[in-house]
Amino acid sequence: MAQEKQIAWDLYHSYQNFKEKSLTNRRFKHSDIVPLIEQLQNKKNFKVNKVGKSVEGRDIYLISMGSGKTKVFLWSQMHGDEPTATAALLDMFNFFSDDSAFPELKNLILSNLSIYIIPMVNPDGAEEFQRRNIVEIDLNRDVLRQQTPEAKILKEVFDRLKADFGFNLHDQGRDYSAGNSFNPASISFLAPSPDYEKSLTAPREKAMKLIGNMVTVLNEFIPGHIAKYSDDYEPRAFGDNFTKWGTATILLESGGWRGDREKQFLRKINYISILSALNSIASGGYANTDISVYESIPQNEKFMMDLILRNLKITRDNMEYVIDIGINYDEVNVDEAKDFYLKAAIEDVGDLSVFAGYEEFDLSGYTIEPGKTKPVAYHSLNELEKINPAQLYRDGYTNVALNNTDFKGEFTYLPFNIILNQKSFGESKIKPEESANFIIKKDGEVRFILVNGFLIDISMVESWNCNSIVYGK
């Protein structure tokens, strides 16, 4: 194990040399990765094949490496908005393209394993940055009916390979925590059940040992941030069936990491995880791991929120209460799903002491009130840009009214929200599912403001770098 950990650290420190630098965020498309895959054809370690087309006609590729007798099949992004592992696989192709670095590790892997990879199983979903494919079918619930070309391709390749190991690479929600810790579940694993009884078959046990090995390595980098996905049997899912059909299948889910919405750190962790796993399969080292390591991984729980404001005083009917407020940001796709803006909503109010925030602020001694809309309508964006936000906030306003039928857009980067064309916008309420626009006072004066879920200290208004919302579209 000591040697495996050392190799993982070497991979960690040399990552920048192999990172595919053209991929910088999560919203890359099929057209961004095709040239990177095509150029592998000229490299000696790779074979590149097209194995079919998506509903919208995008090519799906199978890339293979190595000549060993143990077969390993990896596939990513069955869900179009789950791209973290796809980027890590492209980083890994760069790693295997370079002959000079890690020659012993590469030789061990390529001589003992035959590796087959489908990056981006769902390119049409990736185009829209949505989970399902373009006809709204979840590919990971289509293994039985096989209605989609993408699921058919995955099943055909699986049947042809009958691989010893399978890696089912996904992303999971940011709201998952590692057990009831205050840590996001940054990587979650599962050795899927082959049946409703959750039988411990030989392939499943092999998967558990390998996961235990991967967790031991990852504990070097992200201790306390690893969890285990629910092992309830899902007869429509690929991983469960692949286990049933004899392949030791590993589900790997990339979750959240503080300060890493674009998951570039978790992409690096994916790269290290996958290469470490290949190393361990090639050496056979994983087989020495006891399945108790797998069994002791904490469950995925849902105790994370994007932002928690704690210990605020609120007055209702002359009674004072102390509340915490939890807020989540929804990503809304724009610019042909190449970009997004954030839309905040209150997730929960009350005693949130069992939850943790990606960001948290203790506001003991402060009072909270709903943000209001300034009761004077403006007529142009030009006028809005001249507003002094600090003054607006001090008067208790988080929103302004704009009467302009030509105005387009669902959001702006102005530090206040826009209520368009006198759409009714009664005072917002501080309760779940409402928008998150508040004023926060101490000694009767506004000290902080929350606009679209982003906290601003009103003495530092110029630090605003978020988006606000246009209501009434």
Residues that bind Zn ion (CB under 5 A): 79, 82, 170
Dihedral sign computed on CA atoms, order 329, 334, 337, 339: negative
CB of 86 to Zn ion, least distance (A): 12
- Closer of 170 and 310 to Zn ion (Cβ): 170
Q: What is the DSSP string of 289-340?
A: S-HHHHHTSPBEE--EEEEEEEEEEEEETTEEEEEEEEEEEEEEEETTTTEE
Sheet order of strands, 187-190 included: 46-53, 59-65, 113-118, 70-76, 165-171, 248-254, 187-190, 226-228
Supply 161's token pair. Answer: 């390979």
Smallest distance, Zn ion to C-beta of residue 79, A: 4
Nearer to Zn ion, 171 or 324 (CB): 171
CB of residue 120 vs Zn ion: minimum separation in angstroms? 13
Q: Is 459 exposed, middle or buried (0-12, 13-18, 19+ CB in 10 A)?
A: exposed
The residue (of 250 and 401) whose beta carbon lies closer to Zn ion is 250
Minimum Å distance from CB 235 to Zn ion?
A: 17
Instruction: Give CA–CA dist 302/284, Å, rounded.
Output: 35
Please, which residue, 304 or 414, has the CB nearer to Zn ion? 304
How big is the CA angle at 245 (ends 242 and 251), to the nearest 5 degrees? 20
Q: How far is the CB of 152 from Zn ion (least distance, A)?
A: 18
In angstroms, what is the minimal distance from the CB of 142 to Zn ion?
13
Query: Which CB atom, from 172 or from 276, has the smaller least distance to Zn ion?
Result: 172
Reported for 100-108, long-range contacts at CB under 8 A and 24+ positions apart, including other chains, are: 101/14, 101/17, 101/18, 102/7, 102/10, 102/11, 102/14, 105/7, 105/275, 105/279, 106/45, 108/279, 108/282, 108/283
Residue 377 host element (H or E): strand 372-378
Of 115 and 251, which CB lies nearer to Zn ion in the complex structure? Answer: 251
Residue nearest to Zn ion (CB): 170
Strand order across the beta sheet in which 397-402 lies: 372-378, 397-402, 417-420, 468-471, 411-412
Which residue, 27 or 79, has its beta carbon nearer to Zn ion? 79
What is the nearest approach in angstroms of Zn ion to the Cβ of residue 28? 17
The encoded tokens of residue 349 equal 């109010």
Q: Which amino acid, one-letter code, is at 327?
A: I
**CB closer to Zn ion, 79 vs 174:** 79
Least gap, CB of 138 to Zn ion (angstroms): 9
